[in-house]
Structure 1
Amino acid sequence: MKYPFEVSFPLIEANPDVYISAVFSCLESEFLVLPKGNGFIDYAVFERGYESLKRVTSGFQNIDPVSIIKAAFQNPMIIIVLRTMLGFTPPEWAYVTTQRTGIEVNQGFVRTLDRNIRMSPLTPLSSSLITKERVEALIETACQLLNSPVPEVGADKIHRLDKADTSAGPSAIRAMSGIGVPYAMLLYERFLGRPFAGHRDSVSELIGDSLESAIEEILANAGVSYRKTKRAERIAGFDQAPDFIIPSEFNPQVVIEAKITEDDGTARDKVTRIQHLASISLTGDTKSMPKFEVIACIGGRGFGVRREDMKKLLFATKGKVFTLKTLDSLVEFTHLKEYKTK
């Protein structure tokens, strides 16, 4: 079976299903394996923060902000553990804190705080006046919420703190820390939140970088001049800059979009983006010679769900669709070979 980039476009137009199946056959998914990235917290480090919080609260008998604040500046992992107990993202914690205390804790501050702790979890926090005030406000808010039972809400709603360990105030926390978590409840809460969801979001760019790095290596090994664009960079002639422009942004002859997704809805959006690039490449009449060749390099199970979307992708790129498995053929079967110097 030949891949679409190995045949002429009229053959693809005549029998697209064969080539859709060919691309599907070499799509690979890495959703079970995530890069750790900078700032990954190993369990031993997280547990150390948890045990420090447990100790300073006398086994969660006394969730007192004064003692927790003092301990948190020495062991900032306590702050990460508190946020995990709440089940909040950093911006959500900042928002609730500002509402409850009147102290302005903006998203930029709390994101930076969270990032700095994850990068150096064993380094005590600096106690500048602004940092101290905001950290104290965050911890005071967390203590207020953890010391209170979940308020009543309508039958058609669920409160974010209505979790096994925070639904009934400190008594629920003590029960969970003392006797362990029922497995069914643990699984249910994972179902609501998806395991590793927060970490996956934090390394989403690294997941895409694996494909882009492979493309860069192939281009470099072939001696192909290229311009790799930055995220949200503005490039003349493109309302959204492609990931790679060959040989340069001043004379685009080939553009490459590198996309990985595990979700079919996101895959559809990415196909639409590549179709848009193809439309930009046309100079007026759709039968005229394109200004540049459009290449799609894709990965992830999201692209292997909808055959109609893959058909659109094949037509937009005239068959120039590559996966990690076929990336070695990238230069040989595209106009990139015209720029090969090695």
Structure 2
Amino acid sequence: MPMFPFEVPYDDVDKNILEHVAAICSCLESSFLSMPRGNGFIEYGTFEDAYEELKRRTKGFSELNGPNLLHAVQAKPVAFIVIRSMLGFTPPEWAYVTTVRSNTSVSQGAARGIDRKIRMNPEVQLPSNGVTSDRITAMAETAAEILTEGATETTGDEIHRLSKADTDQGLDSLKLVAELGVPYAMLLYERFLGRPFASHRDSISELVGDTLEIAIEKALTKAGITYVKTGRAQVVPGFDQAPDFIIPSVYNPKVVIEAKITEDDGTARDKVTRIQHLDRLREDGPGRPPKFEVIACIGGRGFAQRKSDMEKMIRATRGKVFTVRNLDKMVDCT
């Protein structure tokens, strides 16, 4: 049974740092094979129904124009998501090209809002008049133009965003894919370029982190400890970036907790740097005790990739690094 760095005096941690790095890494758990569905997850059946509506309205993509795309979206709002998937654009990207190509200005926030509204309520009809309707109409018309044009010629060191099996040659590519299906190798290649579930993972990134933060809240509440859970971009005196938890209050911080989950070693390094910065902030001058204690609660395989980064985090927190598997010891060992 390994001894964790928070269970022994810090002098021992300092002398046997590699053993304690291994102990923390041994209990890190990865959740990259599963993720929260969230409220905005669209089932494949719903997506396919919208695709078939779009295909029917455009007569197998042979009559792809703004009005036909708009009729499909009005009948099946998720068709809007299908069109965006065909373009291969994010909502802000679609908003930008629409603003450039049309007389209608579509902000990034507006595009995200339309996209989110559809994902949250796939069966609710979109407005048929007003500003939002005008934006959707302009986006549909712009999409029709771009999909009809297909990929344009680029220089040797560039690749066009529409150089995909279903959009490379404009309507000819779309009709071919609709009639014959996509070659499996090409489908796999495009998945490789785009990462399966990438957009969904981005949309529920906060929910992934919430699992760890909820566990921390339960541990603190069970122990009867007063705490403040800070919000995104919240301003806290004395901190250029607010920690995730402050105990007991923002006016009298005695303990700060950073909750971090990452599956990527590069992102892990950034999060370790953040914790090291908190360590520097707590110093109150030579010979004076630290202003507060720093605790790190971490998860995901990213933190286990670079042992040197884990060593830095253990030193920055004086051994106070916890994972989901030993979070029940956080209160007693800090």
With normalisation by structure 1, the TM-score equals: 0.95
Q: Secondary structure at the match of 1:11?
A: helix
Distance apart, 1:175 and its partner CA? 1.4
In structure 1, the residue matched to 2:316 is 316
CA RMSD between the two structures: 1.0
How many Å separate the matches in 1 of 2:136 and 2:226? 49
- What is the correspondence of 1:255-334 to structure 2 with a 5 Å cutoff? 255-285=256-286, 288-334=288-334
Is 2:37 aligned against 1:36?
yes
How many Å separate the matches in 2 of 1:244 and 1:64? 52
In structure 1, the residue matched to 2:47 is 46
In structure 2, the residue matched to 1:210 is 211
- What is the correspondence of 1:92-171 to structure 2 with a 5 Å cutoff? 92-171=93-172
How many Å separate the matches in 2 of 1:183 and 1:306? 36
Q: Secondary structure at the match of 2:325?
A: coil
Instruction: Assess if the C-alpha contact under 8 Å between 2:57 and 2:71 holds in 1.
Output: no
Is 2:65 aligned against 1:64?
yes
- What is the correspondence of 1:190-209 to structure 2 with a 5 Å cutoff? 190-209=191-210
Tell me which amino acid in the other structure corresponds to 1:70.
H
Kindly provide the CA deviation profile for residues 149-206 of structure 1, in whole angstroms up to 9, marking residues without a partner as x. Answer: 3111111110000000000111211211222211111111111111111111111111
Tell me which amino acid in the other structure corresponds to 2:49.
R
Distance apart, 1:256 and its partner CA? 0.5
How many Å separate the matches in 1 of 2:130 and 2:305? 53
How many Å separate the matches in 2 of 1:19 and 1:70? 62
Kindly provide the CA deviation profile for residues 274-315 of structure 1, in whole angstroms up to 9, marking residues without a partner as x. Answer: 111111111112x53211111000001110011111111011
How many Å separate the matches in 1 of 2:20 and 2:130? 63
How many Å separate the matches in 2 of 1:101 and 1:17? 60
How many Å separate the matches in 2 of 1:179 and 1:127? 35
How many Å separate the matches in 1 of 2:161 and 2:208? 29
Distance apart, 1:11 and its partner CA? 0.7
How many Å separate the matches in 2 of 1:323 and 1:131? 45
How many Å separate the matches in 2 of 1:11 and 1:224? 28
With normalisation by structure 2, the TM-score equals: 0.98
How many Å separate the matches in 1 of 2:68 and 2:84? 17
Q: Secondary structure at the match of 2:38?
A: coil
How many Å separate the matches in 1 of 2:150 and 2:126? 31
Q: Secondary structure at the match of 1:294?
A: strand
The number of residue pairs the alignment matches comes to 333
Kindly provide the CA deviation profile for residues 77-125 of structure 1, in whole angstroms up to 9, marking residues without a partner as x. Answer: 1111100000000000010111111321111111110011111111111
How many Å separate the matches in 1 of 2:283 and 2:244? 19
How many Å separate the matches in 1 of 2:53 and 2:288? 69
Tell me which amino acid in the other structure corresponds to 1:288.
R
Q: Secondary structure at the match of 1:325?
A: helix
List alignment gaps of at least 5 residues for structure 1.
335-342
In structure 1, the residue matched to 2:3 is 2
Instruction: Assess if the C-alpha contact under 8 Å between 1:74 and 1:125 holds in 2.
Output: no
How many Å separate the matches in 2 of 1:78 and 1:315? 52
How many Å separate the matches in 2 of 1:14 and 1:227? 35
Tell me which amino acid in the other structure corresponds to 1:67.
N
Tell me which amino acid in the other structure corresponds to 1:208.
G
Q: Secondary structure at the match of 1:191?
A: helix
In structure 1, the residue matched to 2:228 is 227
Instruction: Assess if the C-alpha contact under 8 Å between 2:65 and 2:145 holds in 1.
Output: no
How many Å separate the matches in 2 of 1:171 and 1:313? 55
How many Å separate the matches in 2 of 1:265 and 1:76? 38
How many Å separate the matches in 2 of 1:14 and 1:255? 25
How many Å separate the matches in 2 of 1:129 and 1:27? 51
How many Å separate the matches in 2 of 1:311 and 1:131? 52
Instruction: Assess if the C-alpha contact under 8 Å between 2:126 and 2:133 holds in 1.
Output: no
List alignment gaps of at least 5 residues for structure 2.
none
Q: Secondary structure at the match of 1:136?
A: helix
Tell me which amino acid in the other structure corresponds to 2:121.
S
Distance apart, 1:129 and its partner CA? 2.4
Instruction: Assess if the C-alpha contact under 8 Å between 2:87 and 2:143 holds in 1.
Output: yes
Instruction: Assess if the C-alpha contact under 8 Å between 2:265 and 2:306 holds in 1.
Output: yes
Q: Secondary structure at the match of 2:131?
A: helix
How many Å separate the matches in 1 of 2:285 and 2:162? 57
How many Å separate the matches in 2 of 1:279 and 1:151? 52
Moved over 3 A (4+): none
Kindly provide the CA deviation profile for residues 254-274 of structure 1, in whole angstroms up to 9, marking residues without a partner as x. Answer: 111000011111111111111
